């Protein structure tokens, strides 16, 4: 097998930070090569370099032996390297079919391209064939902007295939996609490979990578750690250390992290409790939380609904959506106090919409949201926040140009009392050392995991009773992810009721005492986290099975 | 209107979700689009309406001979061409150019100077030079486009404005433009009530030419690439679209028609001054017209220009006050853009499409079917 | 050209640059908070000048005391425009649409001014408009000094507001991440309305100094907005410090070319400079590439 793509000695720096420090990569003809590595190891940057979206200072990129270093993207594509993007990109106002037709020709004279129709009979037939291949033919005449996230991934793939590139570079094809679709995607990728396409895929989902790749290249801190067969990579201690080692549940959390956690847990017992006490004292009984002190204990999370007090948050018959179309269709669910409730479900099921409706970003069209028995639907986000409901939205919710400390202080924006703000700041600094250590750095410069912690800290500044977390693990490598989950559990132990939305259903449900399965805007299943996880129907509903059958 | 976008498979009207599955008209369209580039079956009614409008435009100056009215009609045609041509670049590519007066005025200067230098007389002989005006404008568009198209989004807008001001200032200060005293065009040998008629027909011919070109671009691969650039330029580049070449081509094409109609406009006016040739209001007017009717559509700029320019001319002529038309113009645009943010044509055609669907009672069934599709692969 | 004349041109440029920086700061603030390019900013300065003119001619209220009336008026105008137009622009085409909408607002204002005041040129006058002080061998007109001083004071105030006050934090937060700002209890709509009010409010002050140092008519808005756009784009959209630097840069070029060569060529020089700079550095001289994540 010959090398189709050869990359060597690539150096790419932003300011003083090296995103790529001399990394190398070989992609052999006919293989599926998996490019893996922890967050920030430079995978996407390497993609951008190969496809000409970013220029490098040093290094060599060769395709079929031809030097294509720093060649513009259109030329790279013309030579036969097609790519997808981590956050899918498509032409939102063109129809799905037109999206596929954009790339039909590699070279064409100007006069001919003006007079020629957009897509000959033949090209259209081919485009429809490809849509059929990925499974979205019936959406051919929809504007691409109407597609769901998963469908966009499929469209992006189809729009590359029409030009018949020799190599496909896929950037996190399984990211943020439900398990059914992941299976579908991996089948398609295998099909393509069988038809002779060479594939380079970046992915965090190990199961997916190990399942389809014949060879794996590991990046770590901008350089290539190793390349080899999946089994080799799996058993390599170096890779384990850099990356996979932390994947093995809690046991793999390294000592440093564990120490940090222990310290935090210890600190909280004294610190946060006293802060809470001050809240009640200083703000009076109305503004503060009427929470029972004993709710703030580890025991709270095992409380079950039937015998417990009325739920903290209740949605009944909520219909909500954007621009006339309902995404939530009569959603009724309860969030018991002191527990972690996890909402799972396929992409587009309406999980995030539930949160937006509760936090007031979206007004329900019908139904009611009540908090401690009081109706909160119809209130502004600010009023709802004052009731003690806080939401941490999906990734990138910090103010990137503000310092870490400013960000955290912003959490207490609605709190007038400066002394109280200082006190809480001290408490969260204790809890999350990164808030103190990086206090004066811009929030945008932190790593993904650190940003999550700062978001948690910002949220705790208001000392809410209910914290809604929208996919806290999104875009994080396994090690950071398990750290974030531990922090979520810790917040819960400290007495916060948590409503969690997770794409990674297993991890989310394992953490939670209560589970809710949402599908197509309706609640399909509720129960304890364990019940939901082991429910026979969930496999069919969510983790692949029955749905796959209808997908065909 | 004259040319319905539904005839193009690459139609710009976002197919309403229901249309994909609905029986009847929507269904035909879907089939046609899927099967090949052939236009969908046109309803005889629509074809008839189109023919009627075309016929009305042809016989207009023969029936209505009042010079004031025909002059207004001529100005409306001029701006229909200008808005259509502007739309050919800005509407399709999403690059908002606010400096097309450069090409309009340069077309005027080109004709005036060509007539002066070559000793060409007014009227038909000068009309024969109009393609040259277009070529001059297109040649100017090459360096302008090369520079301006290095930038994107609002920076591009500002660069086009800056280039516009450079042209205006240069026109005031160089010798051959005659400075503030301007250049005169040869008087045409037409007279009396029929003075406007030849201008009207030439403008009409250019209109037909530019609309046809715009329509061709719209349904060509070139046009599809322009639209792709509008939606996501980087992605288009990554799919092999030679974005710079495509953008520049559209820019030049657009300048050509604006230059040609600019020549005719100033031929009609009889003289070119720096402040009339390079008028910031022109830059805005064409953009407002296209937005008013519907950016990136074929009929939108035509409708926008017809309405807004006629209104402007009418107000100016009846009240001889430029203040009034400025106010009316601005207010009308603001009202329309607030009620119909995408422009008149797309909003109305969507409304009609929804109505029709309701009438067949298909919306429910279609909805069901669609949610079935959506369910498959979320 | 003599060295003195050269120096004088530079000093002139810096002094007038201050006033331009103030107008541009308003423009860039509105862009920063709302992603909206307010093309009407130029004509608003002219409107401010006409308001001051009216107050001084018909009511005998001096230019500077008159600001107590005109600034709140312009603030209200900004609030109204934000409420009726800018707020209603949504999603992806916001910036582009805003150019057209505010352009339309500009021509409405121009039409009203033309209908009310005609197209004759006017100039504001007061005792300090024609007096000057003698410093280090240069005659510096008082009005330039007052304008410069006031502009600098206001810009410092604006900076203080943005970086030291709670409101300023709310402004920056809603600028950097709207959803997150909503979720921590910031009333983003109110923040935006007030910011636009401030951005437009400063045009009243700038109007006085522009009107006192230039002859103006309702048409002058075009020339002004083209300069302001040049300034904010050069400075990097959304950056107030950049706007200050660029304002001084452009005005110094303007005045030096005017003194050295000819006033008519001065604008051409800086427009060319603008085009050249932007085709090399699209983010502007002082701007950073892609500041925001949203």
Each residue of C132-183: pLDDT tens digit?
Answer: 777 777 777 777 888 888 888 888 888 888 888 888 888 888 878 888 888 8
Domain contains C292: no
Domain contains C92: yes
**Whether residue A166 is found in the same domain as residue A301:** no
CB burial string C91-124: b at 16+ within 10 A, e below: eebbbbbbbbbbbbbbbbbbbbbbeebeeeebeb
Mean pLDDT of A377-398: 84
Give yes or no for residue A91 having a pLDDT over 50. Answer: yes
Q: Which residue has the tokens 């200082």?
A: A422
Mean pLDDT of B31-45: 45
What percent of chain A clears pLDDT 90, i.e. is strictly above it? Answer: 1
Q: Give B363's contacts in chain A (Cβ within 8 Å).
A: none
Q: Is the Cβ of C263 closer than 8 Å to some Cβ of chain B?
A: no
Domain contains B44: no
Q: Give B330's contacts in chain C (Cβ within 8 Å).
A: 104-108, 111
Q: Give B153's contacts in chain C (Cβ within 8 Å).
A: 95-96
Q: Give B12's contacts in chain A (Cβ within 8 Å).
A: 93
Helix segments in chain B, DSSP class H:
25-35, 44-63, 67-86, 92-93, 101-118, 124-128, 130-148, 153-173, 196-219, 221-231, 233-238, 243-269, 274-277, 280-293, 299-319, 322-339, 344-360, 363-376
**Whether residue A239 is found in the same domain as residue A318:** no
Which contacts of B46-52 are long-range, i.e. CB under 8 A and separated by 24 or more positions? B46/B4, B50/B1, B50/B2, B50/B3, B50/B4
Backbone Cα Rg of chain A: 25
Mutate to test the interface with B, among A82, A90, A91, A353 (most CBs of B within 10 A): A91
Mean pLDDT of A437-463: 82
Give yes or no for residue A255 having a pLDDT over 50. Answer: no
Among B12-21, B78-87, B108-117, B306-315, the minimum mean pLDDT is found in: B12-21
Mean pLDDT of A224-243: 76
**Whether residue A196 is found in the same domain as residue A323:** no
3-state class (DSSP) for residue A528: strand
Q: Is the Cβ of C82 closer than 8 Å to some Cβ of chain B?
A: no
Give yes or no for residue B35 having a pLDDT over 50. Answer: no
Average predicted confidence (pLDDT) for chain A: 76
Distance from CA of A209 to the nearest CA of B (A): 21
Give yes or no for residue B368 having a pLDDT over 70. Answer: no
- Give the CATH number, domain containing residue A284: 3.40.50.300
Mean pLDDT of A48-67: 87
The pLDDT tens digits for A177-191 are 777 788 888 888 888
Between residues A333 and A14, the one the model is more confident about: A333
Q: Which domain does C86 fall in, by range?
A: 3-280
Mean pLDDT of B51-63: 81
Q: Which domain does A112 fall in, by range?
A: 3-247
Compute the distance between CA of residue A85 and CA of residue A91 in angstroms, rounded to an integer: 13
Domain contains B42: no
Q: Which domain does B260 fall in, by range?
A: 72-281
Half-sphere exposure of B42 (CA within 13 A, CB side): 18
**Whether residue A189 is found in the same domain as residue A54:** yes
Residues of C engaging A, defined by a Cβ cutoff of 8 Å:
166, 169-170, 172-173, 176-177, 179-187, 291-293
**Whether residue A395 is found in the same domain as residue A493:** yes
Q: Is the Cβ of C110 closer than 8 Å to some Cβ of chain B?
A: yes
pLDDT number for residue C290? 38
Q: Is the Cβ of C111 closer than 8 Å to some Cβ of chain B?
A: yes
| Cβ within 8 Å, pair C278-B159 | yes
Which one of A198, A222, A247 terminates a domain?
A: A247
Domain count for chain B: 1
| Cβ within 8 Å, pair C293-A406 | no
Compute the distance between CA of residue A516 and CA of residue A334 in angstroms, rounded to an integer: 9
**Whether residue A204 is found in the same domain as residue A332:** no
Domain count for chain A: 2
Compute the distance between CA of residue B129 and CA of residue B183 in angstroms, rounded to an integer: 17
Domain contains B188: yes
B157 to chain C: nearest residue by CA?
C96
pLDDT number for residue B67? 80
What percent of chain A clears pLDDT 70, i.e. is strictly above it? Answer: 77
Indicate the pLDDT class of residue B89, thresholds 50, 70 and 90.
Answer: very high
Domain contains B242: yes
Q: Who's near C27: CB < 8 A, 6+ residues apart?
A: C37, C38, C41, C199, C228, C229, C232, C243
**Whether residue A401 is found in the same domain as residue A287:** yes
Give yes or no for residue A229 having a pLDDT over 80. Answer: yes
Compute the distance between CA of residue A205 and CA of residue A173 in angstroms, rounded to an integer: 10
**Whether residue A71 is found in the same domain as residue A120:** yes
Between residues B229 and A443, the one the model is more confident about: B229
- Give the CATH number, domain containing residue C261: 1.10.3470
Q: Which helix (H) or strand (E) holds A327?
A: strand A325-335
Cα torsion angle, A530, A531, A532, A537, sign:
positive
Mean pLDDT of B306-317: 84
Q: From residue A89, give the alpha-carbon distance in Å to each of A43, A102, A368, B223, B276.
A: 18, 13, 36, 20, 44
Among A134-143, A317-326, C64-73, the minimum mean pLDDT is found in: A317-326
Q: Which residue has the tokens 């390294």?
A: A254
Q: Does residue C177 contact residue C167 with C-beta atoms inside 8 Å?
A: no
DSSP for residue A379: S
Domain contains C287: no
Mutate to test the interface with A, among C32, C91, C184, C190 (most CBs of A within 10 A): C184
CA A8 to chain centre: 31
The pLDDT tens digits for B185-219 are 888 877 777 788 888 889 999 999 999 899 888 88
Parallel, antiparallel, or unpaired for β A198-202 and A32-36?
parallel
Mean pLDDT of A445-454: 80
Of B21, B231, B373, the CB nearest to A93: B231
Q: Who's near B351: CB < 8 A, 6+ residues apart?
A: none
Q: Give C42's contacts in chain B (Cβ within 8 Å).
A: none
| Cβ within 8 Å, pair A91-B225 | no
Interface of B with A in 5-64 (CB under 8 A): 9-10, 12, 14-15, 17, 19-21, 29-30, 33-37
C163 to chain A: nearest residue by CA?
A402
**Whether residue A200 is found in the same domain as residue A277:** no
Provide the total of helices (H) and of strands (E) in chain A, helices listed first.
22, 20
Half-sphere exposure of A289 (CA within 13 A, CB side): 26
pLDDT number for residue A39? 64
Distance from CA of C173 to the nearest CA of A (A): 6
Low-confidence spans in chain C with pLDDT less than 70: 1-2, 91-92, 127-129, 283-294
3-state class (DSSP) for residue A381: helix
Q: B215: closest CA among B1, B19, B52? A: B1
| Cβ within 8 Å, pair C278-B158 | yes
Q: Who's near A514: CB < 8 A, 6+ residues apart?
A: A305, A335, A336, A339, A340, A341, A342, A526, A527, A528, A529
Mutate to test the interface with B, among C112, C120, C222 (most CBs of B within 10 A): C222
Which one of A228, A247, A266 terminates a domain?
A: A247
Mean pLDDT of B58-74: 82
| Cβ within 8 Å, pair C176-A400 | yes
Among A175-184, B87-96, B238-247, the minimum mean pLDDT is found in: A175-184
Q: Give C181's contacts in chain A (Cβ within 8 Å).
A: 399
Mean pLDDT of A74-102: 85
Average predicted confidence (pLDDT) for chain B: 78
Domain contains C288: no
């Amino acid at each position: 097998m010959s090398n189709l793509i050869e990359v060597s000695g690539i150096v790419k720096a932003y300011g003083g930070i090296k995103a790529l420090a001399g990394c190398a990569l070989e992609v052999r003809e006919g293989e599926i090569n998996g490019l893996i590595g922890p967050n920030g190891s430079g995978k996407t940057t390497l993609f951008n370099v190969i496809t000409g979206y970013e220029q490098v200072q040093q290094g060599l990129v060769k395709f079929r032996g031809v030097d294509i270093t720093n060649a513009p993207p259109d030329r790279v594509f013309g030579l036969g390297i097609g790519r997808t993007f981590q956050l899918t990109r498509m032409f939102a106002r063109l129809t799905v079919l037109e999206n596929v037709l954009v790339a039909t020709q590699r070279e064409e004279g100007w006069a001919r391209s003006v007079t020629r129709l957009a897509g000959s009979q033949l090209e259209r037939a081919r485009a429809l064939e490809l849509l059929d291949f990925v499974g979205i033919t019936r959406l051919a005449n929809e504007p691409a902007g109407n597609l769901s996230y998963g469908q966009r991934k499929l469209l992006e793939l189809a729009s590359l295939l029409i030009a018949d590139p020799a190599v496909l570079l896929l950037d996190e094809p399984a990211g943020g996609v439900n398990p059914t679709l992941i299976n579908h995607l991996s089948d398609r990728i295998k099909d393509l490979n069988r038809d002779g396409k060479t594939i380079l895929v970046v992915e965090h989902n190990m199961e997916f990578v190990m399942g389809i790749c014949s060879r794996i290249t590991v990046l770590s801190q901008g350089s290539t750690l190793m390349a080899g067969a999946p089994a080799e990579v799996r058993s390599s201690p170096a890779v384990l250390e850099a990356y996979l080692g932390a994947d093995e549940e809690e046991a793999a959390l390294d000592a440093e992290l564990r120490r940090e956690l222990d310290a935090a847990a210890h600190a909280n017992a004294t610190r946060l409790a006293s802060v809470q006490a001050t809240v009640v004292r200083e703000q009076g009984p109305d503004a503060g939380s009427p929470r029972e002190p004993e709710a703030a204990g580890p025991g709270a999370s095992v409380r079950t609904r039937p015998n417990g007090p009325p739920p903290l948050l209740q949605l009944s018959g909520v219909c909500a959506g954007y621009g006339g179309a309902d995404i939530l269709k009569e959603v009724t669910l309860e969030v018991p106090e002191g527990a972690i409730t996890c909402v799972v479900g396929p992409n587009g099921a309406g999980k995030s919409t539930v949160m937006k409706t509760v936090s007031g970003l979206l007004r329900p069209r019908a139904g009611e949201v009540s908090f401690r028995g009081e109706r909160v639907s119809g209130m502004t986000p600010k009023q709802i926040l004052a009731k003690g409901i806080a939401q941490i939205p999906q990734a990138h919710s910090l103010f990137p140009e503000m310092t870490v400390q400013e960000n955290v202080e912003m959490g207490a924006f609605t709190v007038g009392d400066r002394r109280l703000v200082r006190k809480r700041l001290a408490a969260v600094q204790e809890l999350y050392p990164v808030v103190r250590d990086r206090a004066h750095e811009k929030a945008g410069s932190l790593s993904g995991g650190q940003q999550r912690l700062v978001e948690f800290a910002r949220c705790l500044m208001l000392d809410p009773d209910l914290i809604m977390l929208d996919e806290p693990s999104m875009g994080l490598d396994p090690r950071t992810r398990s750290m974030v989950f531990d922090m979520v559990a810790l917040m819960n132990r400290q007495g916060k009721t948590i409503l969690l939305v997770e794409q990674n259903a297993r991890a989310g449900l394992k953490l939670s005492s209560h589970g809710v399965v949402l599908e197509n805007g309706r609640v399909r299943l509720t129960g304890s986290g364990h019940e939901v996880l082991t429910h026979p129907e969930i496999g069919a509903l969510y983790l692949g099975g029955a749905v796959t059958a209808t997908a065909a | 209107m004259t040319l319905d976008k539904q005839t193009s498979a690459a139609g710009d009207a976002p197919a309403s979700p229901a249309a994909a599955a609905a029986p009847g008209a929507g269904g035909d369209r879907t089939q046609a689009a899927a099967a090949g580039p052939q236009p969908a079956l046109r309803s005889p009614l629509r074809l008839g309406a189109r023919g009627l409008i075309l016929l009305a435009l042809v016989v207009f100056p023969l029936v209505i001979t009042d010079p004031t009215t025909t002059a207004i009609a001529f100005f409306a045609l001029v701006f229909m061409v200008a808005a259509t041509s502007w739309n050919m670049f800005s509407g399709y590519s999403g690059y908002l150019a606010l400096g097309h007066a450069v090409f309009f005025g340069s077309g005027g200067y080109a004709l005036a100077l060509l007539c002066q230098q070559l000793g060409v007389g007014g009227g038909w002989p000068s009309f024969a030079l109009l393609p040259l005006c277009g070529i001059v404008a297109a040649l100017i568009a090459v360096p302008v486009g090369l520079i301006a198209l290095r930038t994107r989004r609002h920076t591009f807008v500002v660069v086009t404005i800056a280039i516009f001001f450079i042209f205006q200032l240069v026109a005031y200060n160089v010798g051959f433009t005659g400075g503030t005293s301007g250049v005169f065009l040869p008087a045409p040998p037409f007279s009396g009530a029929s003075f406007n008629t030849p201008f009207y027909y030439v403008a009409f011919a250019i209109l037909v030419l530019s609309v046809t070109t715009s329509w061709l671009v719209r349904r060509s691969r070139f046009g599809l690439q322009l639209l792709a650039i509008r939606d996501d330029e980087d992605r288009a580049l990554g799919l092999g679209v030679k974005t710079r070449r495509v953008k520049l081509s559209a820019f030049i094409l657009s300048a050509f028609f604006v230059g040609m109609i600019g020549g005719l406009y100033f031929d009609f006016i009889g003289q070119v001054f720096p402040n009339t040739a390079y008028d910031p209001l022109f830059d805005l007017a064409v953009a407002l017209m296209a937005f008013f009717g519907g950016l990136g559509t074929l009929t939108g700029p035509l409708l926008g220009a017809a309405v807004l320019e006629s209104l402007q001319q009418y107000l100016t002529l009846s009240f001889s006050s430029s203040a009034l038309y400025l106010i009316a113009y601005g207010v009308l645009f603001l009202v329309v853009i607030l009620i119909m943010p995408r422009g008149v044509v797309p909003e109305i055609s969507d409304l009609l499409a929804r109505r029709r669907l309701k009438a067949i009672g298909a919306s429910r069934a279609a909805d069901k079917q669609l949610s079935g599709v959506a369910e498959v692969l979320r | 050209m003599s060295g003195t004349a050269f120096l004088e041109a530079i000093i002139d440029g810096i002094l007038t640059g201050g006033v331009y920086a103030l107008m541009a700061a308003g423009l860039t603030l509105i862009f920063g908070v709302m992603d909206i390019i307010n093309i009407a900013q130029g004509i608003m300065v002219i409107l401010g000048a006409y308001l001051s003119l009216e107050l001084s001619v018909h009511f005998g209220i001096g230019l500077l005391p008159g600001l107590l009336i005109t600034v709140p008026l312009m603030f209200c105008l900004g609030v109204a425009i934000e409420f009726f137009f800018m707020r209603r622009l949504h999603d992806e085409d916001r910036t582009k649409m805003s150019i057209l909408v505010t352009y339309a607002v500009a021509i409405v204002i121009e039409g009203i001014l033309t209908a009310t005041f005609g197209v004759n040129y006017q100039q504001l006058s007061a005792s300090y408009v024609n007096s000057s002080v003698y410093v280090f061998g240069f005659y510096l007109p008082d009005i330039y000094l007052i304008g410069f001083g006031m502009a600098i004071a206001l810009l410092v105030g604006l900076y203080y507001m943005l970086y030291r006050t709670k409101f300023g934090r709310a402004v920056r937060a809603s600028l950097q991440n709207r959803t997150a700002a909503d979720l921590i209890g910031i009333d983003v709509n109110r923040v935006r309305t007030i910011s636009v009010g401030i951005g437009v409010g400063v045009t009243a002050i700038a109007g006085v100094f522009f009107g006192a140092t230039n002859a103006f008519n309702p048409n002058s808005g075009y020339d002004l907005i083209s300069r302001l756009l040049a300034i904010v784009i050069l400075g990097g959209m959304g950056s107030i410090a950049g706007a200050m630097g660029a304002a001084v840069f452009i005005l110094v070029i303007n005045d030096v070319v005017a003194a050295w060569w000819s006033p008519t060529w001065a604008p051409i020089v800086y427009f060319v400079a603008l085009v050249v700079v932007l085709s090399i550095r699209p983010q502007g001289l002082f701007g950073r590439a892609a500041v925001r994540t949203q």
